[in-house]
C-alpha cells in the first residue's frame, strides 16, 4: 500500500474518526501504527509544545491503547524516522509526513495490519484540557506582549495585535499542559542589544503580572470566538489559530488544538518566577467554565 502525507481532522475539533492502516513500524520504544487519516494530534518533533494525543485504536472488535502520538517521516529511500529521530524540519521536500500512533506494546497486533480499517478515538477529556492550555498560552503571550511593548526602544516586529513581540523574540521554550502552560524567556545580552529594558521588566514582574491578568480577565469575559483555519487536509499543511478579541482578530500560525470560544474558560491567569538573573518563567493557568 502506498503511503502519502497523513490527513488529519483534529483542527476541526474531531476526536473520533475512521482510517486505514498504511504503515506499521517497530523500534526500540515499541510499535507505531500509521493511518491514512486520523483525528489524533501528534507532538511536533522540532517545537514540542503540545503533547501528543492518547486514546484507542479499535479494529476487529479489539481495542488497543495509544499511549502517545508522534510525527513520523519517510525519506526518498523508504527509511522511516519517528519523533526526534527525524533529521529535517516538518514539510521538508523529498519526505512523506505521517502521524504515528504509539501502542502500549512492543509489536502491532494482527488486527492492525496494513490494510485494516480502524476506528480511532482520542481521549476527549485530555484533548479538551490541552486545547484550553494551548489557547490560554497564546492569550497569555499576547497579553505579555501588550504589557511590555513600552519597554522596547527599537522596532523588533509586531505580534498579531500590533504589540512588540516579546514572546517571539525572548521565548526559549513553551510547554502546553492540561489547562495551562509554562513558557521560559531569556533576558540575555542579545535581547538588551535589541532595545529591550530587561532591568525594568525584571524589577516590576508583579506589576506586569497584574496588568496581564487584568487583560486576560477582559478577554475571557468577552467570550471571543476561536477557530483554526487550515490550508489543506494533511499534517504538513499550514494551520492558523484565529481569535476575535476586543482589540481585533488575532491570527497566529499554530499546529496545535484550541477551544472554540473563550466561553470555555472561567479564568485565565499568569504568575512569574525568576530562577536566575537572565531567565523569567511565566506559568499560565486556565480554569475551565462549569
Q: How far apart are the first and last CA of the chain?
A: 46
Q: Is residue 110 part of a domain?
A: yes
Residues 73 and 174 grouped into a single domain: no
**pLDDT tens-place string over residues 62-101:** 999 999 999 999 999 999 999 999 999 988 999 999 999 9
Q: Is residue 172 part of a domain?
A: yes
Is the separation of the CB atoms in 166 and 144 below 8 Å? yes
248: domain CATH number is: 3.30.980.10
Residues 81 and 159 grouped into a single domain: no
* Nearest Cα to Cα of residue 234 among 28, 91, 107: 91
pLDDT higher for 212 or 2?
Answer: 212
* Nearest Cα to Cα of residue 98 among 179, 55, 40, 142: 40
Residues 143 and 275 grouped into a single domain: yes
Question: Residue 6: what are its φ and ψ, rounded to 5°?
Answer: -65, 135
Of the pLDDT bands very low, low, confident and very high (cuts 50, 70, 90), residue 1 is: low
Which pLDDT score, from 0 to 100, does residue 2 have?
75
Q: Is residue 235 part of a domain?
A: yes
Contacts of 228 (CB under 8 A, 6+ apart): 11, 12, 239, 240, 241, 242, 254, 257, 258
Edge-to-edge strand list for the sheet holding 171-177: 171-177, 180-186, 279-288, 265-276
Residues 262 and 217 grouped into a single domain: yes
Q: How many domains is the chain built from?
A: 2
CA 193 – CA 169 distance, rounded (Å) = 12
Residues 94 and 177 grouped into a single domain: no
Residues 152 and 109 grouped into a single domain: no
Q: Where are the alpha helices (DSSP H) in 185-283?
A: 189-193, 198-203, 205-222
Q: Is residue 89 part of a domain?
A: yes
Residues 163 and 229 grouped into a single domain: yes
Q: Is residue 73 part of a domain?
A: yes
Residues 264 and 135 grouped into a single domain: yes
**pLDDT tens-place string over residues 8-31:** 999 999 999 999 999 999 999 999
Residues 158 and 108 grouped into a single domain: no
Q: Is residue 1 part of a domain?
A: no
Residues 81 and 114 grouped into a single domain: yes
**What distance lies between CA 241 and its chain's CA centroid?**
11
The domain of 106 spans 7-122
Residues 133 and 73 grouped into a single domain: no
Is the separation of the CB atoms in 223 and 261 below 8 Å? yes
Q: What is the mean pLDDT of the segment spanning 255-281?
A: 97
Is the separation of the CB atoms in 34 and 1 below 8 Å? no
115: domain CATH number is: 2.40.30.130
* Sign (positive or negative) of CA dihedral 193, 197, 199, 201: negative
Amino acid at each position: 500500500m502506498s503511503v502519502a502525507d497523513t490527513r488529519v481532522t483534529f483542527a476541526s475539533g474531531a476526536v473520533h474518526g475512521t482510517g486505514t492502516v498504511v504503515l506499521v513500524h517497530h523500534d526500540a520504544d515499541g510499535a507505531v501504527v500509521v493511518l491514512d487519516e486520523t483525528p489524533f494530534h501528534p507532538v511536533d518533533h522540532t517545537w514540542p509544545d503540545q503533547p501528543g494525543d492518547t486514546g484507542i485504536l479499535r479494529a476487529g472488535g479489539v481495542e488497543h491503547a495509544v499511549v502517545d502520538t508522534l510525527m513520523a517521516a519517510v525519506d526518498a529511500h523508504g527509511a522511516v524516522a519517528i519523533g526526534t529521530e527525524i533529521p529535517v524540519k516538518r514539510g521538508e521536500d523529498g519526505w512523506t509526513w505521517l502521524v504515528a500512533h504509539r501502542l502500549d506494546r512492543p509489536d502491532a497486533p494482527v488486527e492492525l495490519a496494513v490494510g485494516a480499517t480502524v476506528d480511532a478515538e482520542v481521549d476527549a477529556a485530555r484533548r479538551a484540557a490541552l486545547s484550553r492550555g494551548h489557547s490560554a498560552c497564546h492569550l497569555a503571550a499576547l497579553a505579555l506582549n501588550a504589557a511590555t511593548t513600552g519597554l522596547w526602544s527599537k522596532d523588533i516586529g509586531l505580534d498579531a495585535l500590533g504589540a512588540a513581540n516579546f514572546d517571539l523574540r525572548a521565548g526559549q521554550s513553551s510547554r502546553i499542559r492540561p489547562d495551562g502552560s509554562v513558557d521560559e524567556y531569556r533576558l540575555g545580552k542579545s535581547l538588551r542589544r535589541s532595545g529591550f529594558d530587561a532591568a525594568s521588566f525584571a524589577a516590576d514582574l508583579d506589576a506586569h503580572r497584574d496588568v496581564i491578568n487584568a487583560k486576560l480577565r477582559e478577554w475571557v469575559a468577552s467570550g471571543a470566538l476561536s477557530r483554526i483555519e487550515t490550508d489543506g487536509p494533511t499534517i504538513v499543511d499550514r494551520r492558523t489559530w484565529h481569535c476575535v478579541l476586543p482589540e481585533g482578530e488575532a491570527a497566529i500560525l499554530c499546529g496545535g488544538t484550541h477551544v472554540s470560544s473563550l466561553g470555555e474558560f472561567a479564568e485565565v491567569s499568569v504568575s512569574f518566577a525568576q530562577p536566575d538573573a537572565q531567565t523569567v518563567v511565566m506559568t499560565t493557568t486556565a480554569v475551565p467554565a462549569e
